[in-house]
Chain A
Amino acid sequence: MSTLIEVKDLKKYFTVPKGLLHAVDGVNFKIDEGKTLGVVGESGCGKSTMGRLLVHLHEATSGSIYFDGKDITNLSGNELKSIRKDMQMIFQDPYSSLNPRMSVSELIGEPLRIYKMCSSKEEYRARVKELMDTVGLAERVYDSYPHELDGGRRQRIGVARALALNPRFIVCDEPVSALDVSIQAQILNLLMDLQESRNLTYMFITHDLSVVKHISDDIVVMYLGNLVETAPAKRLFTNTYHPYTKALLSAIPIPDLHVEHKRVELKGELTSPINPKPGCRFAKRCPYAKDLCFSKTPELEEVESSHFVSCHYVREINSL
């Protein structure tokens, strides 16, 4: 299996009045073709920024992004346009991410027009209808406007739109968090079916752990711009090593009255991502933190095969 996406020491700093906001701070990971990488973390940890960096909706401050072995970090103009064809994004909020002034067919068909993919009007119509069929949108909504449709159908438009150019890689930025649970499952299954039939590669950003477990092959856990733990999906849920991941997983409710639910509660405040001091970003809230944690930033370290954790005391805490 070949690596489709590789990210090396990717950084994105935003200038804010108080200084530099380290949204994404030195992130490394790979995604194999046809696989799904789940990205989890709490609000404001830089998940969405990372997704947008990959598809060039933000420009990286430093570091590099490779797509199919090619460095795409600093592309612009026509080169960027041609790589965009292969990388698309599904956005979080299907209510605000669709232009209210465009009909369903225009929304789905716009990429086709931009890239001049269709030679005739008939071909264009046929292609849009085929895309609508693929994502399960009835043909009668062809000329409808987004405000006439419910959230699930709107998100299907978002998916169809992203598929229009036959991309190889799709960043799904919390595509189901704005939908209610029954519709969430429909959209997730649609995404998984599409992945199977088209050999798509996903980066799936979410804060919903049960969703990420359902859909991902690998998972990375982010905390304030850093990766704290990366592992294959199944292993992360059984062998959890980083104190933050432990706290995160213990927050998943267990639907069983008889199981005693031990909750690791995080205390203390989130460290500010603006001009952060050296040291582990999680140290302030970590129950195991020692002096070293406040002075030296931990590196990702392979604890088990393809299971990386960034914690100075990971072996002590987990008695490995």
Chain B
Amino acid sequence: MRKYIIKRLIMLIPVLLGVTFIVFLLMYFAPGDPVQMLLGDSATQAEIDALTHELGRDKSFWGQFFSYVGGLLRLDFGTSYFTKTSVLKEILTRFPNTVILAVFGCLLSVLIGISTGVIAAVKQYSIFDNIATAIALIGVSMPSFWLGLLLVMLFALNLKILPASGSYGPAYFVMPIICLGVNGAANIMRTTRSTMLETIRQDYIRTARGKGQTEWNVIMHHALKNALISIVTVIGVLFGNLLGVTTVLCETVFAIPGIGKFLIDSIGKRDQPCVMGCVLFMAILFSLVNLGVDILYSYIDPRIKSQYENASKVKKAAVKESST
């Protein structure tokens, strides 16, 4: 198991290199010059040249790329063109806000999604099932920023019970979390329902009933545990997205200073080191979440775990045999 994790972590390196290259390429060819933006329209050509040289932007593409990668190897994500602070520091000060959104959004999705999914599957075609499936369909189809705007209209403008934007206390996080949770819950509910419907029809569920197991245990221990693999996959993708893509929109709508909003602002200002830093940071998080899900599989499904363990046992036995 440990070997597997180390192998996966090493495999992260080429993935990150690829991501760095592609984003660097995109930023290099993106229109708009940060130097121009920094100095304003009244700057002279001499000033522009000086700053371009200072920021290292007069080097060739490969020159810039390799000096950036060289910095990365020393865990130096560069400094922001505008604030002149280290990108890593900028990211880490904003990271807690994103984490709060992602974790609670995910938690809300899981709670609502799995419970309604299980009930809908057990009571297939009931009124509950029909209503829940319909709502879930709306939930997955609705863009989260649009839902965010509707929530702002209802709770902030009409009812005036929640603040519309900013991050000055727990109340400010309620709407963003609901906004993220609805979409996730709908996704998880649909997956839970369909995989549960599949597992409930399995023969071993009938076996469990025949053993005299209570209906609750049959559903929770025999059916849900078997359905969990696909549900966890969806939750993993969802959580990875929440840490990156989804929160970008949500943070922008609710003006919460997280990584997502930072990324959008940095793109607007063509602040290349910040954009690079954010994207790389998100890529690392996403990969780690995926790795976490894969490790989780082995705990959920003993078959996967026994595969790892048997593989290492067989290898050891083979080594022993060849040495004797």
Residues of A within 8 A of B (CB): 52, 55, 57, 81, 84-85, 88-89, 91-93, 96-101, 103, 110-111, 114-115, 145, 147-148, 158, 161, 165
Contact = CB atoms under 8 A, between A and B. Distances in A.
Contacts of A145: 302-303, 306
Contact of A101 (B203, B207, B212, B225): B225
B204 interface: yes
B209 interface: yes
Interface in B273-310: 301-303, 306
Contact of A88 (B204, B210, B222): B210
B7 interface: no
B207 A99 contact: yes
Given A57-B210, A110-B208, 19 more contacts: A55-B210, A81-B212, A85-B212, A88-B210, A91-B206, A93-B203, A97-B203, A97-B204, A98-B204, A98-B207, A99-B204, A100-B204, A100-B303, A101-B303, A110-B211, A114-B211, A114-B212, A115-B212, A145-B303
A84 B206 CA distance: 13
A67 B15 CA distance: 66
B203 A96 contact: yes
B52 interface: no
12 contacts: A55-B210, A88-B210, A96-B204, A97-B203, A98-B204, A101-B301, A101-B302, A114-B211, A115-B212, A145-B302, A145-B303, A145-B306
Contacts of A147: 303
Nearest to B226: A101
Contacts of A55: 210
A55 B207 CA distance: 11
Best-surrounded residue of B204, B209, B222, B301 (most CB of chain A within 10 A): B204
Nearest to A89: B210
Contact of B211 (A92, A96, A103, A161): A161
B203 A91 contact: yes
Given A101-B302, A145-B302, A145-B303, A96 B202 contact: yes
B241 interface: no
Nearest to A171: B210
Interface in B207-229: 207-213, 222, 225-226
B212 A111 contact: yes
Contacts of A85: 212
Contacts of A101: 225-226, 301-303
Nearest to A80: B212
Nearest first, the 3 A-B pairs at minimum CB distance are A97-B203, A96-B203, A84-B212
Nearest to B214: A114
A100 B226 contact: yes
Nearest to B213: A114
Contacts of B212: 81, 84-85, 111, 114-115, 165
A143 B183 CA distance: 41
A179 to B, nearest CB: 15
A111 B212 CA distance: 7
Best-surrounded residue of A98, A101, A111, A148 (most CB of chain B within 10 A): A101
B303 A99 contact: no
Contacts of A100: 204, 226, 303
Contacts of B301: 101
Nearest to A88: B210
B216 to A, nearest CB: 12
A52 B207 CA distance: 11
Interface string B192-206: 000000000011101
A3 to B, nearest CB: 23
Contacts of A165: 212
Contacts of B303: 100-101, 145, 147
A99 B208 contact: yes
B161 to A, nearest CB: 45
Nearest to B212: A84
A91 B206 CA distance: 9
Given A91-B206, A93-B203, A147-B303, A99 B213 contact: no
A115 B217 CA distance: 13
Contacts of B203: 91-93, 96-97
Contact of A57 (B206, B213, B222, B306): B206
Interface string B125-158: 0000000000000000000000000000000000
Contacts of B302: 101, 103, 145
